[in-house]
Each structure stands twice: as structure tokens, then as C-alpha cells.
A = this chain, B = another copy of it.
Amino acid sequence: MSVTAAKGFTAAGIAAGIKENGNPDLALVVNNGPRRAAAGVFTSNRVKAAPVLWSEQVLKGGEVGAVVLNSGGANACTGPKGFQDTHATAEKAAEVLNGISGFGASGTPGGSDRTDHGDHTDHSAGEIAVASTGLIGLPLPMDKLLPGIEKAAAELSEHGGEKAAIAIKTTDTIHKTAVVGGDGWTVGGMAKGAGMLAPGLATMLVVLTTDADVEAPALDTALRAATRTTFDRVDSDGCMSTNDTVLLLASGASAVTPAYEEFAEAVRTVCADLARQLIGDAEGASKDIRIEVINAATEDDAVEVGRSIARNNLLKCAIHGEDPNWGRVLSAIGTTGAAFEPDELNVAINGVWVCRDGAVGQDRDLVDMRYREVRITADLAAGTDSAVIWANDLTAEYVHENSAYSS
């Protein structure tokens, strides 16, 4: 169902020829209104891809009519030409969508009752968000991409969400979608990526849609709150992308305005679901590691400690080897500035407290690590705050996948 689970959206996913292997590589998501409210969060990497620089500007207006997403190339570190290519992509999408909007105005569900925001069949490039994913530093083949937009527009459908989700895959082995239903309204979404707001190749892309009648500022608040505790706490390999983009589009097509808390919780649930799927499909991973830091003095302390554990290569190797190596957990905690006393630290792995008071605890042989999900609990004994970070193990397959020439 993906991005077309919510009413008021059409989508398509096609093969434009950007990927040399002929796999789907271009997705189009269109908000048919009546509302076009939107919010977005982007990578905090200071080296930002052209589509991120573009879409950040688009989102400042609080309205997005459509999103063009491509795999097969990140359009990052491509200089002024790369930005021109993104601009041309948005212009082309606006032109093509306006060309079919006569049809759309009569043929799409939202076409007849667009009253609150004027004539939304008029698309302008300034309201077209663009997202790209793939190899950094290569120019996009615009001779493939631009005709691809026409092809995608011709295939726009209320049932196109699945195909759109498939078209944005890079090293993903599965496409990722999630849907939460409210009372008369829906939040759905799609994601690609093999890791964090810092994923494997060069990008996590997420598009969420809702037919709830919510204005841009509330969308923004709900989206930032949701990503802070979901995508921001997924750390597959510690490598932050130049292209990470999370968009939330609202069509208002349900004509229902849910209570803010209820809506925000739905957004958070969809984000958490997609984030969990990203970890579950991370490049080369054999384990999903849930790191919960408890009894921290502050939430920031808990996140800092969780991230330090998540990024410790030695521990990630140990987990891969099903070795409950709590010494490496302590070693990682010790590199942080969080409040704790070394001789008060406790660590559990899959529920067995293998470290008590900074030293040997329960018998490590009690720890069963056969399953994909591994739970590490780090008790800082310094307060009452907590946080959960998701990570993956480090495997020979990860090395292999990321050491191939120009992978």
C-alpha cells in the first residue's frame, strides 16, 4: 500500500534506464489534494547532495505537489551541474504533471473538491521535491531520467505505491512499506536504505503520506518528533549519508483532522516500523542489535552511550560471532562523556546480566544468541532516563558488499 494507502495520492515506479541492469529506478508520488501540506527532514551531513539542497528549499514553502525519486545515482558531489540537473528534474515533472492535469482533474478522486488551496492541478517546479540515491560523485544520466518522468507520470495510479517503493531500492533486498490507520484517516509510507540517517551506500529515502487534514506546521512538528526517536536512532554502520530525506505529505482527502497527539503517534509508528525494516535489511548484516541504555542521567547521555556501543566495530564483530562480549560494551561506554561510575555499570545481553558492578556477573554461557535479534541493555545507574538505538553486526559480507569497485 505504501504511499498510496492514504487517499489523495497517486504513485508510480518504473525503469528509466538510470540503472544499467534495467531494474526499476524512478518513482513519482503525486499529492492530488485537496491539501498539499508537507514537511521534511534531511541529512545533517554538511556535504549535501543537490536534491537535498533543492528539496530543503521546496519544503520551506510548506507545500509539495509531487516527489520525484530516483535510484541509480545520488547526484551528490556533482557541483553546479548536479544542482541544475535536480532543477531540470523538478521543471520536467511540473511540466508533465500539468500536461496530464486536465485528465487528472476529472479522473482522480481529489479532482472535484479542491477548494481550500486553489487549483492544485497546477504544478510548479518550486513545489516538486526531488530525492536521489546511489553512487556519490557521478552525474545523473538526464537523457534517461527526464523521459522516465513522462513514463512514470503516464503510469500514476492509486495503486502505484508498491511499485514506487520498489523503484527506490539500491542495495535493499526488499522494499519497505508501512501503514497505520486512524479513525477515517491513514498514514502510510515507503523507505529505502540499508541503515541510518547514515546508511550503507548513500542514502535513506522515506516518503510518508497521509489523507489527514493537517497543516504544514503540525506535520513538521510530528515528523521531527517521530524521526528523532526512530530514524535518528538507527545506526547500522555509523556512516551518515549525503542524501537522507524524509518527507511527510498530507492531502487532506479524508477531510478528517485528527487530534494532534493521535496523528503524531501514527506518524511515529510508521517511522518506527520503517526504521526497523531498514535495520532488518542492512547491508551484509546477520544480526539486528537493539541497544537499550537505561538509568541514564539524561536522555542525551543515553543516546550518546547507545551510539558509542552501536558504532564499536569490535563489539559488532563479537555479536556476529554470537559472543556475549560485555567487555567491549564497557569499553565503548568508557569512551563517552555520560554520567556513570565504572564500578556501577551493569550490562545484560539477551536478558542475562553478564556484567554486574563493572565486573563479571551472570554466567555468559547462559546467553542464547542464535536468533537474529540481539538485545543489549546497558544500565548506567546514574538516573532515570533511557533510549533505544538499533544497530547491526559487522560481517565479512558487509566488507565484501562495500569493497567492490564503485559499489
Contact = CB atoms under 8 A, between A and B. Distances in A.
A353 B318 CA distance: 38
Interface string A352-386: 00010111100000000000000000000000000
A355 B137 contact: yes
14 contacts: A44-B335, A45-B331, A46-B340, A47-B331, A79-B357, A136-B328, A137-B327, A202-B331, A239-B312, A242-B334, A317-B398, A317-B402, A318-B402, A323-B403
A1 interface: no
Interface string A396-407: 101111111111
A360 B407 CA distance: 17
A330 interface: yes
Nearest to A321: B403
A87 to B, nearest CB: 16
Contacts of A331: 45, 47, 76, 136, 202, 239-242
A163 interface: no
Given A47-B334, A79-B360, A330-B47, A313 B240 contact: no
A325 to B, nearest CB: 7
A314 interface: yes
Contact of A242 (B137, B320, B330, B401): B330
Given A322-B405, A327-B137, A403-B318, A237 B313 contact: yes
A189 B237 CA distance: 36
A394 interface: yes
Given A137-B355, A238-B313, 9 more contacts: A45-B335, A47-B331, A79-B343, A139-B360, A202-B331, A240-B335, A242-B334, A317-B401, A320-B399
A359 B314 contact: no
A407 B323 CA distance: 9
A317 B359 contact: no
Interface of A: 44-48, 74, 76-79, 81-82, 135-139, 200, 202, 237-242, 311-314, 317-318, 320-323, 325-328, 330-336, 340, 342-343, 345, 355, 357-360, 394-396, 398-407
A86 to B, nearest CB: 14
Nearest to A354: B137
Given A314-B239, A357-B79, A360-B79, A327 B202 contact: yes
A135 B327 CA distance: 8
A83 to B, nearest CB: 10
A194 B326 CA distance: 20
Contacts of A330: 47, 76-77, 136-137, 242
B359 A137 contact: yes
A262 to B, nearest CB: 36
A286 to B, nearest CB: 10
Contacts of A241: 331
Contacts of A405: 321-323
Given A240-B331, A357-B79, A395-B399, A406 B47 contact: no
A233 to B, nearest CB: 17
Contacts of A326: 77, 137
Contacts of A78: 359-360
A358 B79 contact: yes
Contacts of A332: 239
